[in-house]
């Protein structure tokens, strides 16, 4: 069964986004792997997004935020980084800031249902509609 899963993952790789990783690595191993890849290619925004999301899961918001900000320095219209900065701000209770990030993400990808839902939730938590 594991071999079949591995073959399927190799044949049909999962595209990465800021909210799901197709990786089967424990977070502690993923951090090391992603850091090595970034050292080799500092402008690899896909890997930086993955690393940032590992930091989100590990409750390391400052590290996550730094990765997402660096992505925006490289690629200012990166939807995943914008959306993920909203997620980080939301988890820290900074709902107005989270809403701003979600709005920016929705300018890049207006039809994204997840970002719309997160924006509505952040506005609701901040007392706005």
pLDDT confidence of residue 123: 95
What is the arithmetic mean of pLDDT over 85-114? 97
Locate tokens 């709902």: which residue?
Answer: 95
What is the arithmetic mean of pLDDT over 7-29? 56
In order of start, what are the domains of the chain with their CATH numbers?
Answer: 15-125 (1.25.40.10)
- What's the CA angle centered on 86, arms 72 and 14, to 5 degrees? 70
| Helix (H/G/I), strand (E/B), else coil: 24 | coil
| Helix (H/G/I), strand (E/B), else coil: 108 | helix
Q: What is the pLDDT of residues 21-65, one digit of tens each?
A: 556 789 989 999 999 999 999 999 999 999 999 999 999 999 999
pLDDT confidence of residue 60: 97
pLDDT confidence of residue 19: 46
Q: Which of 43, 60, 49 is nearest to 83 (CA)?
A: 49
What one-character DSSP code corresponds to residue 58? T
């Amino acid at each position: 069964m594991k071999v079949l899963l591995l073959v399927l993952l190799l044949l049909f790789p999962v595209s990465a986004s800021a909210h799901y990783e197709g990786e089967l690595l424990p977070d502690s191993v993923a951090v090391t792997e992603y850091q090595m890849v970034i050292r080799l290619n500092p402008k690899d925004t896909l890997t930086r997004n993955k690393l940032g999301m590992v930091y989100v899961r590990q409750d390391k918001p400052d590290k996550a935020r730094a990765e997402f900000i660096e992505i925006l320095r490289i690629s200012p219209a990166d939807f995943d980084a914008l959306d993920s900065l909203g997620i980080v701000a939301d988890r820290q209770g900074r709902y107005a800031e989270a809403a701003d990030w979600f709005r920016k993400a929705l300018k890049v990808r207006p039809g994204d249902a997840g970002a719309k839902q997160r924006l509505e939730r952040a506005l609701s938590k901040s007392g706005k509609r």
